[in-house]
Amino acid sequence: MTITHLVTHSGGFHADEVLSSVILTRLFPDAQIVRTRDAAWTTPSAEKIIYDVGRDYDAERQIFDHHQRPTPLRIDEQPYSSFGLIWAHYGRDYLRALDIPEPDIDDIHASFDKGFVLPIDLVDNGALAPATAGDLAGLTLPSLIGSLKPVFDNDSPTADDNGFAVAVNIARAFVEGSLAGKAAKRRAEAMVIEAIEKTGDGRVLELPRGMPFRGAIEKTGADHLLFVVNPRDDDWAIGGIRITGDSFEQRADLPAAWAGLTDEALEQACGVKGAKFCHNGLFIAVASTQEAALKMAELAVIEAGERAVLTATLAPRPAF
């Protein structure tokens, strides 16, 4: 059966499904990418490859998600993201499509997995800070631009110029995207500060849409806030607040009992009708309505308080 569609989730995009798309579009150039969460699309069929959505991992059925429980793990028990799953199953074919000699396929596949794919997987799962991943894997912008230089045995007289032209276009996208993001953060700051003022002493910050918020929270000294709720596409998101910008450690995690659960299982675990999904990393959950999202956030605040009391109770007391 010919692959006609490559299906991943809609909304904000992340490195894992973008890089998965790089692999799959090379192997299936005539297939159409469909970004959606619609169940009709995310249900496996022979003509589709589904990745980073669908809440299942079954290579034979061509579905490669990692958000469900149990989390797909490597042999060494480090977590996969969709990129790692796609690389594991399609990476060797991708290398063949790049004309890598067959005797070198396995070694290059393993080396790229360890040095490039694994750090992406760990960051996506909240197991490694982005800055650390960049340093470890050579994923900083200078090293990525350097990778666009022609290889040593490319003897074309225009090889350097061609590589330079590609590098300029890619660098422009990063530079202008970064500057646009900085300008957007300024616009978001005013909106977040207004929302903080409305929240008062509450622990849950409700925003009118997804936007950068940590900077405004730090600027206003709103240390009491634990979770953020905002609309997202056709549902509502409940997210934690990172302690620092380069760490996944949060002021409070969502309840551990929710990890990796979806739909009815999550509704039963939290007792909230309309609960849809909680990430294994406990930094984001999703509900179908505003009311359900706020209720889940309230429950998360209560549990965070109980954990804090328990931690204080069990803390060693100084000897006198």
In angstroms, the CA 68 to CA 279 distance is: 8
pLDDT in tens, 251-272: 999 999 999 999 999 999 999 9
Residue ending a domain, among 82, 116, 137, is 137
CA dihedral 215, 185, 204, 81 (to 10 degrees): -90
Same domain, 129 and 21: yes
Contact assessment for residue 51 and residue 99, using Cβ atoms and an 8 Å cutoff: no
On whether residue 147 sits in a domain, the answer given is no
On whether residue 319 sits in a domain, the answer given is no
Number of structural domains found in the chain: 2
Same domain, 235 and 124: no
Confidence (pTM): 0.70
Same domain, 11 and 121: yes
Nearest to 49 by CA among 8, 103, 107: 8
Same domain, 127 and 243: no
Same domain, 127 and 220: no
3-state secondary structure the chain: CCCCEEEECCCCCCHHHHHHHHHHHHHCCCCEEEECCCHHHHCCCCCEEEECCCCCEEHHHCEECCCCCCCCECCCCCECCHHHHHHHHHHHHHHHHCCCCHHHHHHHHHHHHHHHHHHHHHHHCCCCCHHHHHHHHCCCHHHHHHCCCCCCCCCCCCHHHHHHHHHHHHHHHHHHHHHHHHHHHHHHHHHHHHHHHHHCCCCEEECCCCCCCHHHHHHHCCCCCCEEEEEECCEEEEEECECCCCCCCECCCCCHHHCCCEHHHHHHHHCCCCEEEECCCCCEEEECCHHHHHHHHHHHHHHHHHHHHHHHHHCCCCCC
Phi/psi for 286 (5° steps) reads -135, 140
Same domain, 238 and 124: no
On whether residue 207 sits in a domain, the answer given is yes
Residue ending a domain, among 120, 137, 154, is 137
On whether residue 168 sits in a domain, the answer given is no
Within 10 Å of residue 297's Cβ, how many Cβ atoms?
25
Pairing mode, strands 5-8 and 32-35: parallel
On whether residue 126 sits in a domain, the answer given is yes
Domain range spanning residue 116?
5-137
Q: Can you give the pLDDT at residue 244?
A: 81
On whether residue 189 sits in a domain, the answer given is no
On whether residue 277 sits in a domain, the answer given is yes
Residue ending a domain, among 137, 160, 178, is 137
Q: Can you give the pLDDT at residue 128?
A: 83
On whether residue 86 sits in a domain, the answer given is yes
Same domain, 33 and 105: yes
Same domain, 217 and 298: yes
Same domain, 121 and 204: no
Same domain, 131 and 32: yes
For each of the chain's 320 residues, which pLDDT tens digit applies? 699 999 999 988 999 999 999 999 999 999 999 999 999 999 999 999 999 999 999 999 999 999 988 889 999 999 999 999 999 999 999 999 999 999 999 999 999 999 889 999 998 988 888 777 777 667 788 888 888 999 999 999 999 999 999 999 999 998 889 889 888 988 999 999 999 999 999 999 999 999 999 999 999 999 999 999 999 988 999 999 998 876 778 999 999 999 999 999 999 999 999 999 999 889 999 999 999 999 999 999 999 987 765 555 555 655 54
